[in-house]
Amino acid sequence: MADILEKMAQQFIAALPHAGRLGMVLDKVSPGRAVVSMPYDPMLIGDPSTRVIHGGAVSALMDTAGGAAVMSHPGGGIGTATLDLRIDYMRPATPDQTITAVAEVYHVTRTIAFVRAEAFDHDTDRPVAAATGAFTVPERKDGTR
């Protein structure tokens, strides 16, 4: 099971062109939980005076990790879409450090998966950003939910 999850999730990231463009890597996946990291890249800078990565790139990381968590959840499914995503930026990410997002499905219904996520740089005690989101749960092929 773990192997299947792993394979599914690796393919998921590889199949997302935008995530690939941002250099994202799926580090870990378990049912309803995903860890995705994004290396530092000067192209992603939002403020040249501080060299801090733009919040938008962190949003993309959070969204990808959230989607991966939903897909790995037994009640979730392939082909989820984001309904809403709110991000709190707690502190600037340290330049030159990889950012890692940990996303977890904390509740799932027949139609919606609720996700929480946190992003860290090398300081794993103080999150860079936190997010909450709602994702769609796709209808099953057989018409059931």
Partner 1 sequence: MKRPDPVTTVKKRRDAALAAITGQIPYIQFLGVSFDRHGDALTGVMEYSDDLIGNPVLPALHGGAIAAFLEITAIVGLTFATQWDRIEAGALDVESLTPGQLHLPKTIDFSVDYLRSGLPRDAYAQARVTRSGRRYASVHVEGWQDNRDRLFAQATGHFLMAAPHG
**Binding residues for partner 1 (CB under 8 A):** 15-19, 21-22, 42-50, 53-57, 59-64, 67, 79, 81-89, 92
Contact 103, 34 (CB under 8 A): yes
Q: Compute the least distance from the CB of residue 46 to partner 1, in Å.
A: 5
**To the nearest whole angstrom, how small is the minimum distance from the Cβ of residue 2 to partner 1?**
25
Q: What's the longest Cα–Cα distance across the chain?
A: 54
- Tell me phi and psi for residue 53, to 5 degrees: -65, 145
- Least Cβ distance, residue 4 to partner 1 (angstroms): 20
43 vs 107 by CB, closer to partner 1: 43
**Closer CB to partner 1, 75 or 92, in the complex:** 92
What token pair was written down for 145? 């939910």
Nearer to partner 1, 31 or 92 (CB): 92
Give the Cα separation of 120 and 91 in Å (integer): 10
Q: Looking up tokens 């018409």, which residue turns up?
A: 143
Q: 94 - beta bridge partners?
A: none
User: Which of 2, 49 has the CB closer to partner 1?
Assistant: 49
